[in-house]
Chain A
């Protein structure tokens, strides 16, 4: 078995009485996209905070290149080449594209005290690097705030790649975007993958995850609910799993109760439909798990 670029093995995390994560494992190799899927409260953001070094897991292992890691801050993770691109923290809107791109890692020339930013080289590099990722910027001086949400995400991804990231962690990069813009961002995810980066894509949208992902880990209530390679799971099943069998059952009970108390026939019909779907889904999941066991 090849060593993965980044992997967590059965990590758990509690906050007081609340179990945020329990025995969760996930991994991404070089040139692989691993999608972490889950609804709100599934534990996605806890997992991402462990991966980027903001939280430490209570138990379980975190390995980079097969080596055991013990990060105490995002800086440590960054030094290992693990870059996290957050949905809304990515950029300073009033600053220009090139200033944002190099913020914190400015290109300088000259000796102190005349040490200064190499503006021409910075701008050229930005246009170049963005070009390599297929992002065309008209003017590197334009404020980032004038870019669309998708473009901003793309610039943030390009920056992480340029600054030497080997692993990209993307937190809901498509959540606030329209269909077309989400497509643009996903293209850069594929681009990063082609350049040999390991990508961990956190999302609640299976339609965005499926086309780019190699591997899907579905989280529910802090636990791994499903773990599939792309060839083992069709999109429909992924969507259904995301919709969630247990949730459907709960919904069914709620609707039945409502139907009983109001005597609404239509509502009762909908409830039974949900029930059937939930049963189907449970069967499929069981089958898939058996297949995994065989393999």
Chain B
């Protein structure tokens, strides 16, 4: 499999890229810091990625970086089969309420930036006859909830877009996989009190890789979150207003 990953230097993206490397996939890394990308590329090569792992700078807040980065990936991998987006920004509701610039960045990276990046990837994958686009949304986009009002809104929009994309292009060979992680213990959530059913990045990676291989349009990770969210979706507004999650 020839994969370009945006966000493989940290957290769940790192874990997913490692699983791909260990089974011998070809990888190309996209991200914000050239130096950090280089270090992750060496890590993945040592773990068994097929051929050298090359990198290009790409920032969800700078849409002008998308096309050149994906062109470089296509060239280096000699064709593109799978594009994965694990990158995103996160901040707590309190942090976002207190800092409108940060809020603007999170909303723009997690919705506008990600959607525009997917549009660039969509065109390239369809031109090559299809492929897989796997994007990390969040369970935060399932329901309007007190701790994730802003972050959740961006992720809700993203999930909606990904579902539409899948309906529109699956027949033409482009499979869209929308990943909805629950609470996962990564650097992004470090310092927050882990919720019940909190998962490890590698647990998520294992499940996401399965979803990519089988072309599942939607995957909760760890798997238990599918049932947790099924319940939360059913809760009446009156209940949601009273509870803290």
A and B: interacting chains? no
B interface residues with partner A (beta carbon < 8 Å): none
